[in-house]
């Protein structure tokens, strides 16, 4: 059992992490710009083989295409609840992460190491992961994805901090003043 009392967050051994990944059947959206199509496809195959339902929203052809629209499109799938998690990629991961985070309810982090990928789930309850296809080799990228997908939110003191992020978003949409 994890410190948070959640069996799904017990990741103390590689076996438990693998068991977890194999027992879930969840829906995840993938998108990228032109810079990351081959890596996105490799990740899609990897995740599908682990039992996830993959919603790959492209693009599929190599023409230059702006990362903000793909980051936003994936983020809207997550924010609407259509997909539980999302993975987005561009050359660095940075631009598409910035775009995804503009959608309310999205907590997206760029990761170039597995420690960060675990921590953004444990402490930040990240619902999206951004990767840089010009930064990472495929092997490391897949390990980062694995760490992200097999780690649960720890809750506890971190829940209040995540709620504070939502409160910042709420301030962007002040409630209309009631009519007199």
Give me the active site residues, please: 90, 123
Which of these segments, 89-97, 111-119, 142-150, 157-165, binds ligand RB5 (CB under 6 A)?
89-97
CA–CA distance from 135 to each of 93, 103, 169 (Å)?
A: 8, 25, 30
Residue 95 makes contact with ligand RB5 by CB under 6 A: yes
Q: Which residue from 111, 109, 113 is spatially nearest to 162, judged by alpha carbons?
A: 109
Residue 90 makes contact with ligand RB5 by CB under 6 A: yes
Considering only residues 9, 17, 20, 33, which one is a binding residue for ligand RB5 as defined by CB under 6 A?
33
127, two tokens: 């619902």
Which of these segments, 50-58, 92-100, 123-131, 172-180, binds ligand RB5 (CB under 6 A)?
92-100
Provide the H-helix boundaries in 28-100.
Answer: 37-49, 67-79, 94-100
Size of the site for ligand RB5 (CB under 6 A): 8
Greatest CA span in the chain, whole angstroms?
62
In degrees, rounded to 5, the angle at the alpha carbon of residue 109 between the alpha carbons of residues 168 and 15 is: 125
Minimum CB distance to ligand RB5 smaller for 63 or for 179: 63
In degrees, rounded to 5, the angle at the alpha carbon of residue 80 between the alpha carbons of residues 73 and 32 is: 25
CB of 108 to ligand RB5, least distance (A): 13
CB of 31 to ligand RB5, least distance (A): 12
Q: Which residue from 71, 62, 77, 72 is spatially nearest to 32, judged by alpha carbons?
A: 71
Instruction: Tell me the per-residue interface mask from 36 to 75 with ligand RB5, x by CB under 6 A, - otherwise.
Output: -------------------------------x--------
Binding site for ligand RB5 (CB under 6 A): 33, 35, 67, 90-92, 94-95
């Amino acid at each position: 059992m994890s410190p948070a009392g959640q069996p799904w967050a017990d990741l103390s051994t590689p076996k438990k992490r693998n068991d977890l990944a194999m027992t879930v059947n969840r829906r995840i959206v993938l998108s990228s710009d032109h810079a990351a199509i081959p890596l996105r496809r490799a990740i899609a195959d990897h995740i599908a083989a682990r039992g996830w339902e993959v919603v790959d929203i492209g693009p599929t052809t190599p023409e230059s295409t702006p990362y903000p629209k793909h980051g936003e499109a994936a983020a809207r799938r997550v924010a609407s609840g259509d997909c539980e998690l999302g993975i987005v990629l561009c050359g660095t991961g940075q631009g598409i992460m910035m775009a995804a985070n503009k959608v309310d309810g999205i907590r997206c982090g760029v990761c170039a190491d597995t420690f960060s990928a675990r921590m953004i789930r444990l402490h930040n309850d990240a619902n999206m992961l951004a990767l840089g296809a010009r930064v990472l080799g495929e092997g490391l990228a897949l390990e980062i994805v694995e760490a992200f997908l097999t780690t649960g939110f720890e809750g506890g003191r971190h829940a209040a901090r995540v709620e504070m992020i939502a409160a910042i978003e709420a301030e962007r949409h002040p409630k209309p003043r009631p009519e007199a």
